[in-house]
């Protein structure tokens, strides 16, 4: 149990700092956004599991040879009012920390979801008053705003893509199609769920620099994924021009959407977009640079290698926690 807790702590430390920092500086994610997205999710899940698991295993070390045996012994102490003298101060501290951290993460995840849903509901109420249906397809509405604004508001069957008068006047038909395809890709691929999880992670652990790096990277990757969908039918030149026009919008979002965050709406350019974070000037520059100077996608072999590494990241802490108990 001691070595298990030690290995989990080392893994948690590696996944909390050097690995995310190196990945955030790497150039290859732009060549395969989906693969990079899977890796970021694996890092977040494996890091959290290792951190909580290390404290839990260390705390249970005096009362069990493995996690399952230790949990059984702890349950007996709790439900049968047995003495806890076998557990020293630091073991009790580790168990308390593991329980509190788990509760904190779950509570933050649920609280973030509640805030997102409340913001979306208020936003839909504003749209019902200020927006009018668009001729560009079902689920698309237009707001009276001079600046170029384009965003989507997720919500299952209630999902809606919002355009401004200023944007529609500035775009050619092909460019408008590119914007709509991009926004619909956010909705169909449920990018809001991805950003919800990473936003909650950052809210729960704001002192971890890697939570900021992860959220920033995921924001950029979901924009690239949506761009790739638009490129299936529209040219790069058309998409680049559309991105530039949307990014030229004013810094003040339309209809009070500046209050939305953490998945309330996804920001395109300087307006609000549906997946949950602002498409910052840095992200916009990365998108345009990627389109102007395209790099070859990762080879199939490299993509498989990254996906296997992602699976191993999740398998290693899970095996360290569960396998000894099953074998015992």
More confidently predicted of 277 and 119: 119
- The average pLDDT across 123-145 equals 93
Residue 251 binned pLDDT confidence (cut-offs 50, 70, 90) = very low
* C-alpha to C-alpha distance for 221 and 35, rounded to whole angstroms: 10
Task: Give residue 282's pLDDT.
Answer: 84
- The average pLDDT across 215-229 equals 96
- CA separation, residue 90 to residues 59, 94, 96, 97 (Å): 7, 6, 10, 10
Task: Give residue 82's pLDDT.
Answer: 81
Residue 116 binned pLDDT confidence (cut-offs 50, 70, 90) = very high
Please tell me whether residue 196 adopts helix, strand or coil conformation.
helix
Quick check: 306 pLDDT over 90? yes
- The average pLDDT across 279-306 equals 92
Instruction: Dump pLDDT digits (tens) for 164-179.
Output: 999 999 999 999 999 9
Residue 279 binned pLDDT confidence (cut-offs 50, 70, 90) = low
Please report the beta strands in the chain, taking only residues with DSSP state E, as ranges in sequence order: 131-133, 140-143, 150-153, 160-164
- CA separation, residue 117 to residues 90, 123, 142 (Å): 40, 10, 22
Q: Would you tell me how many other CB atoms lie within 10 Å of the CB of residue 124?
A: 15
Count how many residues are written for the chain.
328
Starting at the edge strand found earlier in the chain, the sheet holding 131-133 runs: 131-133, 140-143, 160-164, 150-153
The chain-wide mean pLDDT, for the chain, equals 88
More confidently predicted of 86 and 20: 20
**Range ranked top by mean pLDDT from 148-162, 218-232, 275-289:** 218-232
* Token pair belonging to 20: 């995310």
* C-alpha to C-alpha distance for 124 and 129, rounded to whole angstroms: 9
For the chain, what percent of residues have pLDDT higher than 70?
Answer: 89
- The average pLDDT across 153-160 equals 91
Instruction: Dump pLDDT digits (tens) for 84-99.
Output: 888 999 999 999 999 9
- CA separation, residue 108 to residues 55, 88, 105, 146, 199 (Å): 20, 30, 5, 37, 10
pTM of the full structure: 0.89
Task: Give residue 260's pLDDT.
Answer: 31
Quick check: 154 pLDDT over 70? yes
DSSP 8-state code for residue 80: T
Task: Give residue 261's pLDDT.
Answer: 33
Instruction: Dump pLDDT digits (tens) for 37-91.
Output: 999 999 999 999 999 999 999 999 999 888 989 999 999 898 888 888 889 999 9
- The average pLDDT across 140-166 equals 93
Task: Give residue 161's pLDDT.
Answer: 95
Residue 21 binned pLDDT confidence (cut-offs 50, 70, 90) = very high
- The average pLDDT across 296-324 equals 95
Please tell me whether residue 133 adopts helix, strand or coil conformation.
strand
* C-alpha to C-alpha distance for 225 and 32, rounded to whole angstroms: 9
Cβ-contact 241, 93 below 8 angstroms? no
Task: Give residue 83's pLDDT.
Answer: 81
Quick check: 138 pLDDT over 60? yes
Quick check: 275 pLDDT over 80? no
For the chain, what percent of residues have pLDDT higher than 90?
Answer: 77
């Amino acid at each position: 149990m001691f070595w298990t807790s030690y290995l989990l702590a080392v893994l948690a430390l590696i996944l909390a700092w050097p690995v995310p920092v190196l990945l955030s500086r790497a150039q290859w994610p732009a060549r395969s956004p989906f693969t990079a997205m899977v890796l970021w999710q694996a890092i977040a899940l494996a890091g959290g599991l290792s951190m909580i698991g290390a404290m839990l295993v260390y705390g249970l070390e005096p009362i069990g040879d493995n996690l399952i045996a230790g949990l059984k012994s702890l349950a007996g102490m709790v439900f049968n009012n047995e003495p806890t003298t076998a557990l020293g101060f630091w073991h009790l501290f580790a168990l308390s920390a593991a329980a509190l951290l788990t509760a904190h993460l779950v509570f933050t995840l649920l609280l973030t979801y509640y805030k997102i849903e409340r913001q979306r509901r208020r936003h839909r109420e504003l749209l019902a008053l200020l927006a009018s249906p668009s001729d560009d397809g079902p689920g698309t509405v237009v707001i009276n705003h001079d600046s170029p604004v384009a965003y989507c508001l997720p919500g299952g069957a209630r999902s809606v893509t919002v355009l401004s008068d200023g944007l529609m006047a500035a775009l050619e038909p092909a460019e408008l199609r590119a914007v709509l395809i991009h926004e619909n890709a956010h909705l169909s691929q449920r990018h809001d769920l991805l950003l919800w999880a990473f936003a909650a992670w950052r809210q729960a652990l704001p002192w971890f620099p890697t939570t900021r790096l992860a959220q920033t990277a995921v924001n950029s990757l979901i924009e690239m994924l949506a761009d790739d969908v638009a490129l299936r039918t529209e040219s790069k030149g058309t998409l680049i021009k559309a991105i530039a026009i949307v990014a030229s919008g004013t810094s003040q979002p339309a209809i009070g959407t500046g209050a939305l965050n953490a998945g309330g709406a996804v920001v395109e350019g300087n307006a609000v977009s549906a997946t949950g974070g602002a498409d910052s000037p840095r992200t916009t520059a990365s998108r345009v640079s990627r389109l102007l100077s395209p790099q070859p996608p990762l080879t199939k072999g490299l993509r498989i290698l990254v996906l296997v590494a992602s699976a191993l990241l999740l398998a290693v802490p899970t095996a360290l926690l569960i396998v000894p108990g099953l074998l015992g």
